[in-house]
Structure 1
Amino acid sequence: MLSGLLGSVCLSGCKLEVLDSKGPIGVAESALIGTATFTMLLVVVPVILLTLIFAWRYRASNKNATYAPKWAHSTAIEVVVWAIPAIIILYLGILTWRTSHELDPYKEIKVENVKPINVEVVALDWKWLFIYPDLGVASVNQVAFPVGTPVNFRITSDSVMNSFFIPQLGGQIYAMAGMQTKLHLLADHAGDYAGISANYSGAGFSDMKFRALAMSQAEFDAWVQNVKTAPEGLDMNVYAGVSRPSQKEAVRYFSTVDPKLFNNIVGKYNNGNVAVGANCVTKG
């Protein structure tokens, strides 16, 4: 997990959106990145400094440096070089175990008196399809939800394996054909957040992006009503066209959606059965 978190920092661009968290999961993961980095630097920085100090002190031109050709052992040095790294590794191990459970993407987020919103996500070449099964609408390359409302994502792919990621909200989890994974997020602040594909998936990978809109309940209700005015619905026949490979796909709305569409997409790879994927996550 820690390597995935640190890798996400490097891959998230100059804005470092993964550290500009706007939700509880993102905040916890950002804190984990900082803690893990600081802890590892407790070894890295002293080693670099001591290497430079030793190289300077015992340079060939320094005749005052102690010369001990028969020196072979120091208990104090052995204790330091073994005990400190062992303690740090133990600490990082405990930290990893604890946060792996606390930040489990399958763990639901519960807010008192707030009903979660369900969103089904399908990774395509090279676009994202979002289905709202409880609202009967769908969209391409744009997902919206109210601030302070838990969002339950069910995720699959109708193409190669991909990875669903909204850096500022936290969580990165794989989308796999014939399987479904889950991710639970929540936005604390209203905003227009970047969503990306975090797993290389071919020629259109670099433009496989979407926008995640966190808004007030009233604004979300208005968004849903706007989607319901879209001229086309989404059934299996329309979906056949939507799923064809395309690049830089514009945002697209569907006023109705086949309630069995998501399960049909998953089941087409399993003789009609819906399989639940393993907890495949690279970021918290």
Structure 2
Amino acid sequence: MKKLGLKSFAALTLLLVSLTGCAADNQNVLDPQGPVARTQFHLIVWSFILMALVVLGVFIIFIVVLVKNGKKNNPNYDPEDDGNVKLEVTWTVIPIIIVILLAIPTVKSTYDLEKPPKTAEAKTPMTIVVTSADWKWVFRYPEQNIETVNYVAIPSDRPIKFQLQAKGAMNSFWVPSLGGQAYTMPNMKMSLWLQADHPGDYLGRGANFTGKGFAHMQFHVLAKSDSDFNKWVQHVKSTAPPITQKKYDEIMKPGTVGRMTFSSTPKDDRADIDMSSGDMSGMDMGGMHHGQH
């Protein structure tokens, strides 16, 4: 009995450590910094509560059975084999109820996250095209006509629609503090809505293993106030060099690079993704739409 209790405690501790282990490097899925992340956080908490109730119920029944029948030792005991209708109905209905309690909020959240966060419906969304490559992230701003590598600046408290694509290997776009992850695929239209409540530096990364440079598939999301973001855009336009097609092709080759900023985007091979039709929103690797990993 003591061994079982110690094993259960160790398992619970391991679960809590795994959930909070992403706190390092600003990857804390349990500290949401935006409406999308909060929606997913509430779903995680609700799922955890239901699982805890199931585990607690199993342990209570287990202890009751041990206490009630543990001291009995009747070799002539012959249990009835007719079954127990009440028990059979109970252990059939309870899992159905649990599945329903999990399914309803999950489906609701899935469809809600296909649209801009309700907290910012009055604000004009901003679109950023994301391209994953081996082993870097490239961000294009269609409205501002600028391009960055391995970091992306966004206005805080404003919905951002990330249009996702990949050059080469499939990957997964993930900013734990702002929301769940979504696939990036070659020749596939994907999207993800995110929003930061406050200015800050949020770490993002690829969540799919893509070879020897996988550890370098990281980027920073720099959330700025509207005025600071506009100043940053003007600074980029006035100081950063334009990007040529040759330079863009070099960046797309397998390899690692540092942060880069360009005051233009290449004219070729960079057609906008039309998300108005055929859009397949990114599904989370962990079983939840845009969920946490």
Note whether the superposition's TM-score is higher than 0.5: yes
1:211 — aligned with what?
220
Please tell me whether residue 50 in structure 1 is matched to residue 68 in structure 2: no
User: Structure 1 residues 80 and 237, CA, compared in 2 at 3 Å: closer, same or farther?
Assistant: same
Listed as ranges, the matches of 1:128-167 within 5 Å are 128-167=137-176
Letter in 2 for 1:87: I
Q: Name the CA distance, whole Å, in 2 between partners of 1:242 and 1:84.
A: 55
Q: Name the CA distance, whole Å, in 2 between partners of 1:120 and 1:185.
A: 13
**1:153 partner SS:** strand
TM-aligned CA deviation for residue 213 of structure 1: 0.9
| Preserved contact between residue 58 and residue 65 of structure 1 (Cα < 8 Å) | no
Please tell me whether residue 97 in structure 1 is matched to residue 112 in structure 2: no
User: Structure 1 residues 214 and 67, CA, compared in 2 at 3 Å: closer, same or farther?
Assistant: farther
Letter in 1 for 2:65: F
Letter in 1 for 2:215: S
User: Structure 1 residues 136 and 53, CA, compared in 2 at 3 Å: closer, same or farther?
Assistant: same
| Preserved contact between residue 121 and residue 156 of structure 1 (Cα < 8 Å) | yes
User: Structure 1 residues 238 and 223, CA, compared in 2 at 3 Å: closer, same or farther?
Assistant: same
Listed as ranges, the matches of 1:266-277 within 5 Å are 276=278
The counterpart of 1:172, out of the listed 178, 181, 187, is 181
| Preserved contact between residue 245 and residue 267 of structure 2 (Cα < 8 Å) | no
Matched-pair identity in %: 33
Please tell me whether residue 236 in structure 1 is matched to residue 238 in structure 2: no
1:71 — aligned with what?
80
State TM-score, norm by structure 2.
Answer: 0.80
Letter in 1 for 2:109: T
TM-aligned CA deviation for residue 277 of structure 1: 5.1
Q: Provide structure 1 residue ranges, at least 5 long, that are not aligned to the other structure.
A: 1-6, 268-274
Count the aligned residue pairs.
265
Q: Provide structure 2 residue ranges, at least 5 long, that are not aligned to the other structure.
A: 1-14
Letter in 1 for 2:283: V
RMSD between aligned residues: 2.9
The counterpart of 2:261, out of the listed 237, 253, 256, is 253
TM-aligned CA deviation for residue 57 of structure 1: 4.9
Q: Name the CA distance, whole Å, in 2 between partners of 1:65 and 1:55.
A: 15
State TM-score, norm by structure 1.
Answer: 0.82
User: Structure 1 residues 38 and 227, CA, compared in 2 at 3 Å: closer, same or farther?
Assistant: same
Please tell me whether residue 108 in structure 1 is matched to residue 116 in structure 2: yes
**1:220 partner SS:** helix
Residues 185-230 of structure 1: per-residue CA shift (max 9 Å, x gap): 1111221001110111111112210000111112112222232244
1:3 — aligned with what?
none
TM-aligned CA deviation for residue 96 of structure 1: 2.5
